[in-house]
Structure 1
Amino acid sequence: MQLLDNLDNVISLLKESLATPLPGPKAQELMAPSFRNEYKSDKNLLTQSGVLLLLYNKNEIPHFVLMKRSSKLRTHSGQIGLPGGKTEQSDTSYYHTAIRETYEELGISHNFITLLGKLTPLYIPISNFMVHPFIAYATETLHFVANDDEVDEILEIPLRHLLSEKSVTEDIWEKSGKEYRRPFFAVGEHKVWGATAMILSEFRELLFRK
């Protein structure tokens, strides 16, 4: 996987992989918590959203960015996620949602971002969100500025860490007197689980095709 230590190589690989059928739900489900399907869903009342998996160089090493959502937020507060959020009427596309939210949350303008492609949309039963994930990259040096109302912490993750088998683990989640399996990516002291882990799982499969 040494070729993935170079951002240009990562971009080339992803362009090839995204030109073929996506890994899809099968790859997403590898990181799905076992209680995921116990929630009742109403897909007639979906909230659409867009998120961005943004690749960039830091100290000449490919990284991507996650954030710890503010405890002030009504949905998914305190969780680790990709930049992004709910689609607004003024958004011209789900990608527009993703880059607008990335600017609002992390201060990164769309002028620095180039779209690579889209991953498989993911439904979140607990909040009734349909998430549209996009992969993009920036060749400029990025300087993140967190929106304190939405972001508690910015996490800059080396891409190689995501690809390491040591980053993939699980624990037991106790809920309503029951125990459930909860897979997650270990990032320092943080556990990246749920929808974000499922999206990253599909992205990971794209990179493992080579």
Structure 2
Amino acid sequence: MEIDRLVPQLLAALRKPLPGKEAHLRMSPQPVDWRRFTLHIPETHRKSGVLLLIYPEKGIGFFPLIKRPVYAGVHSGQIALPGGKMEPGDPDVTFTALREAEEEIGIDAGKVEVLGKLSDLYIPTSNFLVTPVIGLISDKPRFVPEQKEVAKIISTAIYSLTAPEKIKHTELSVGEGIRLNTPYFDISGEIVWGATAMILSELLLLLESKDH
């Protein structure tokens, strides 16, 4: 999608009620973990921010995804948006998202124009409440991956997500004998699922519909 058309459309959609649950359910693993949608998130939850950074390339809107390194942890090798947990010194979760993106992919956070936020998404397994922040930068950044946290950066055209063949299903084993029937985005041969896919689903729903 041409960035000159994408940004005004997105700004208009962000001024209206967000689709939230409707969008998240489209890409939610099955069976659905309804704790994601509870109105009573534990008081002990931790906050985190991720950055969906839109930038132009040949007039088209792109954004970066990152692939986590393989390590002994629940997010080993997964595809994600740059971001991380809110630190005590962070004034708000938008600052968190920008700070983490600067650390992980080497952008200049000071050059990012914040357009708004998507719906918060609760992750029961890690007890994180994730806030997706949408940012815009006028030129394609020179990405520099932080080697300990980022195995590679995947530049992704927003319009490519709308292609029907990009959405697929698979069965994933998530430990302790649990298997999930999981919708995912096939991006550069990678399986983009879970919270990241649910966040991207809301972005697409905002761009698809003028009713929200």
| TM-score when normalising by structure 1 | 0.91
1:65-76 correspondence runs (5 A): 65-72=64-71, 74-76=73-75
SS of the residue 1:148 aligns to = coil
Q: Does the aligned pair in 2 maintain the 1:35–1:180 contact within 8 Å?
A: yes
Count of equivalent residues? 206
Displacement after TM superposition at 1:61 (Å): 2.0
Partners of 1:36 and 1:125 within 8 A in 2 = no
Partner of 1:166: 165
Choose from 5, 23, 29 the match for 2:25: 29
Distance 1:191 1:161 in 2: 15
Q: Is the 8 A contact 1:70 1:77 kept in 2?
A: yes
Equivalents in 2 of 1:8, 1:25: separation in Å? 28
Whole-Å separation in 1 of the counterparts to 2:72 and 2:201:
25
Shift of 1:177: 4.3
Alignment RMSD? 2.0
Partner-residue secondary structure (3-state), 2:33: helix
Give the aligned residue type for 2:15: A
Q: Could you say which residue in structure 1 is the equivalent of 2:202? A: 202
Give 1:108 deviation, angstroms.
0.3
- The Cα of 1:56 is off from its aligned counterpart by 0.5
Corresponding residue SS for 2:43: helix
Q: Which secondary structure state, in structure 2, belongs to the residue aligned with residue 206 of structure 1?
A: helix
TM-fit CA distance, 1:55: 0.5
Q: Secondary structure at the match of 1:44?
A: coil
Give the fraction of aligned pairs with identical amino acids, expressed as a percent.
38
1:43 partnered with 2:42: yes
Question: Unaligned regions of 5+ residues in structure 1, if any?
Answer: none
Residues 67, 183 of structure 1: alpha-carbon distance in 2 compared, 3 angstrom cutoff:
same
Q: Which runs of 5+ in 2 are unaligned?
A: none
TM-score for the superposition, normalised by structure 2? 0.90
AA matched with 1:23: P
Matches within 5 A, 1:83-94: 83-94=82-93
Contact 1:146–1:153, Cα closer than 8 Å, also in 2: yes
> Which AA in structure 2 matches 1:204?
L
* Counterpart mapping for 1:118-157 below 5 A: 118-157=117-156
Contact 1:103 1:110 in 2 (8 A): yes
- Number of the residue aligned with 1:110: 109
Corresponding residue number in structure 2 for 1:56: 55
